[in-house]
Amino acid sequence: MRGYLTNSMLLLACVVLLGLSFPVTGQSSDVGLSIRVNPTTTSPGNTVGVFAFVTNNTASKLRTTVTITATAPCGLKTNLGSNRLALNPGQTVQVTVSYPVASDVCLGTQAITISTDSGGKTVASSSATTTLTVQ
């Protein structure tokens, strides 16, 4: 009985952890990224908030373009927006977008990604991805 109770508690803890929404982070030596969506589950036609943070990890001013995209499970990629940023050393900025989920989008898990591009300069590109379930 004791082993059954222990296994049940471990299973419950795993299920709870799988159901939680954690922000996802991505790191290069130059740029730190984190991204999350709210809500994490929605229906076609509803609006979702995308919240991202971009951090300059260098000792000098950094210019980069951040792009946020949504990729549906059927492969359809949607550009949700992009911003050109100029960040001081150690500076973090928040980038947000309100994302209206298309009424005809394929159902399933979408990948919501933020990526940086510094135009081929010495700054490395970086990206971070989280998920949105559309049902």
Domains in the chain, ordered, with CATH? 22-134 (2.60.40.3880)
Confidence of residue 22 (pLDDT cuts 50, 70, 90): very low
In what side-by-side order are the strands of the sheet with 108-117?
41-42, 126-134, 108-117, 62-71, 77-87
Question: What local confidence, expressed as pLDDT, does residue 126 receive?
Answer: 86
Give the three-state DSSP class for 106: coil
Higher pLDDT, 60 or 3: 60
Can you tell me the distance from the alpha carbon of 76 to that of 21, in angstroms, rounded to the nearest whole number?
Answer: 24
pLDDT-based confidence at 117, cuts 50/70/90? confident
Q: State the average pLDDT over residues 27-56.
A: 92
How many whole angstroms separate alpha carbon 82 and alpha carbon 9?
44
Cα–Cα separations (whole angstroms), residue 54 to 2, 23, 25: 48, 13, 10
Q: Which residue has the tokens 């991505």?
A: 26
The pLDDT assigned to 44 comes to 95
pTM of the shown model: 0.75
Strand order in the sheet with 92-100: 24-27, 31-38, 47-56, 92-100
